[in-house]
Amino acid sequence: MNVIRFTDLIAAGKVAGQRVFIRADLNVPQDDAGHITEDTRIRASIPCIEQALKAGAAVMVTSHLGRPTEGEFKPEDSLAPVAQRMGELMGREVKLVANWVDGVEVKPGELVLLENCRVNKGEKKNNEELAKKMAALCDIYVNDAFGTAHRAEGTTYGIAQFAKIACAGPLLAAEIDAISQALSAPKRPLVAIVAGSKVSTKLTILKALSEKVDGLIVGGGIANTFMLAAGLKIGKSLAEPDLVAEAQAVIDAMKARGAAVPIPEDVVVAQRFAADAPATVKDAADVAEDDLILDIGPKTAALLAEQLKAAGTIVWNGPVGVFEFDAFAHGTETIARAIAASPAFSIAGGGDTLAAIAKYGIEKDVGYISTGGGAFLEVLEGKTLPAFEILSRRAQG
Ligand code: ADP
Ligand code: MG
């Protein structure tokens, strides 16, 4: 995807003395007292800000935080804790500015944090008047917030329409690059793992990927529904019988292209959904009426691991079993380790997938870990994210 990159503007000497407006994703989790419980997003946003400052820009940064009511500023919606933490991490004071839409005072070499942008009336609905006012605050607009790239809001879309220059920050650019490497011009074979709890939440992804990938590995509750489609019995396992026809359509679409959806050959079952429930490995054909399938079996896991090791590109969303319970984590761990060991370029995303990656400590061995949950899933669905669309349109002049 062709977008203007902030790093290129810096390299071309076009940032010194300019007013730069950065839309970051600083939406960190907080406890009831407002303390930040996890600051990854703040840390991840700092490189772009540092680069802008080093290049001699006057820097304004904003983000949403939580779900404020537009037009009603409440203390709990304030970015104050973020300003404080950012200041600690950067070793400088980060001034927080409220009511900033009509004008911001900031000089080259200075950094100000602009209060929660979702407090501004018209932000969510991408009001044009608001967008124009925000665009007028800067010479260069930088979008570095992949987590909100699937939303067309004032600070993610409208401002990009009207700012003199609109470009992608380093975090957003890295996501764009990883996604195009994995999906636009992938090294083949391209293998996708779509697993997790429900077919219904990932049906669009399964359909979109079935037109692209060479292998589509299903797991978790999703695999159970595919097992039903293959005529297998799954006992009391989590599945969506009303989506069997849809699963069959995905299998058929893959078959028509000479590709396959491997159905598990063996599974790990239990009598109840609990961490201490005894685990039994069974052939997929032998699942009893009172069995709960909670993981793929070791034979299946080993076969899939071989397929992943031979892949050119791997896309991973969803654990293939109830990996939160150690007795049913073997399949997900095997998949995770196979991805880590594979020479393929890999990209992974999804809340529970990220938890699995952390559990097995393979962060460094995955090609790219996407931080934008909803935005990542929409990319897999084959959608063009609004933030990407407007930035690429602006790059065409
Ligand atoms: P992600 O957040 O990565 O997109 P999902 O939310 O779709 O993934 O699915 C993750 C959840 O699916 C995990 O909590 C896991 O325990 C659950 N899960 C996986 N396999 C099964 C299964 N066979 N039965 C029930 N739940 C499962
Ligand atoms: Mg999840």
Cα 1 from Cα 390, distance rounded (Å):
11
Residue-level pLDDT at 24: 98
Ligand nearest to the CA of 328: 1
- For residue 39 the two structure tokens come to 């600051």
SS3 state at 116 = coil
Residue-level pLDDT at 118: 98
User: Ligand 1 within 6 A of 324 CB?
Assistant: yes
| Per-residue pLDDT reduced to its tens digit, 352-371 | 999 999 999 999 999 999 98
SS3 state at 334 = helix
- Which residue is listed with tokens 């992949």? 146
Residue-level pLDDT at 397: 75
Residue-level pLDDT at 257: 95
Residue-level pLDDT at 277: 98
Helix ranges (DSSP H) in the chain = 6-11, 40-54, 80-90, 128-135, 159-162, 170-179, 199-210, 220-229, 244-256, 298-309, 330-341, 351-359, 373-380, 386-395
Residue type, 345: F
Q: Which residues contact 298 (CB under 8 A, 6 or more apart)?
A: 266, 281, 330, 334
What secondary structure letter does DSSP report for 19? Answer: E
- Which residue is listed with tokens 């679409």? 253
Residue-level pLDDT at 371: 82
Cα 162 from Cα 31, distance rounded (Å):
37
Cα 137 from Cα 140, distance rounded (Å):
9
Mutate to test the pocket of ligand 1, among 237, 352, 360 (most ligand atoms within 8 A of CB): 352
Q: Is the pLDDT of residue 36 over 90?
A: yes
Distance from Cα 322 to the centre of ligand 1, integer Å: 6
Q: pLDDT grade, residue 156 (50/70/90)?
A: very high
**For 226, how many CA atoms within 13 A lie in the half-sphere containing its CB?**
29
Q: Is the pLDDT of residue 332 over 80?
A: yes
Ligand nearest to the CA of 220: 1
Are 25 and 147 a contacting pair, CB within 8 Å? yes
Residue type, 371: T
Determine the average pLDDT of the residues in 4-10: 98
Sign of the alpha-carbon torsion through 46, 52, 58, 64:
negative
Q: Is the pLDDT of residue 244 over 80?
A: yes
Of the listed ranges 51-60, 175-184, 209-218, 302-311, the least confidently predicted one is: 175-184
Are 215 and 189 a contacting pair, CB within 8 Å? yes
Determine the average pLDDT of the residues in 226-235: 98
Distance from Cα 330 to the centre of ligand 1, integer Å: 14
Residue-level pLDDT at 373: 85
Determine the average pLDDT of the residues in 10-34: 97
Q: pLDDT grade, residue 278 (50/70/90)?
A: very high
- For residue 311 the two structure tokens come to 């892949």
Q: Is the pLDDT of residue 348 over 80?
A: yes
Determine the average pLDDT of the residues in 5-19: 98
C-beta neighbour count of 33 within 10 angstroms: 7
| Per-residue pLDDT reduced to its tens digit, 73-115 | 999 999 999 999 999 999 999 999 999 999 999 999 999 999 9
Catalytic positions: 41, 198, 351, 374
Strand pairing category for 19-23 and 58-62: parallel
Are 277 and 326 a contacting pair, CB within 8 Å? no
User: Ligand 1 within 6 A of 297 CB?
Assistant: no
C-beta neighbour count of 253 within 10 angstroms: 17
What secondary structure letter does DSSP report for 284? Answer: G
User: Ligand 1 within 6 A of 227 CB?
Assistant: no
Strand pairing category for 165-168 and 19-23: unpaired
Are 307 and 184 a contacting pair, CB within 8 Å? no
The CA dihedral of 82, 83, 88, 92, to the nearest 10 degrees, is 160
Crossing angle (nearest 10°) for helices 373-380 and 199-210: 40
Q: pLDDT grade, residue 372 (50/70/90)?
A: confident
Distance from Cα 78 to the centre of ligand 1, integer Å: 34
Q: Is the pLDDT of residue 39 over 90?
A: yes
List Cα–Cα distances, 224 to 22, 109, 230, 240, 380, in angstroms: 44, 57, 10, 8, 21
User: Ligand 1 within 6 A of 350 CB?
Assistant: yes
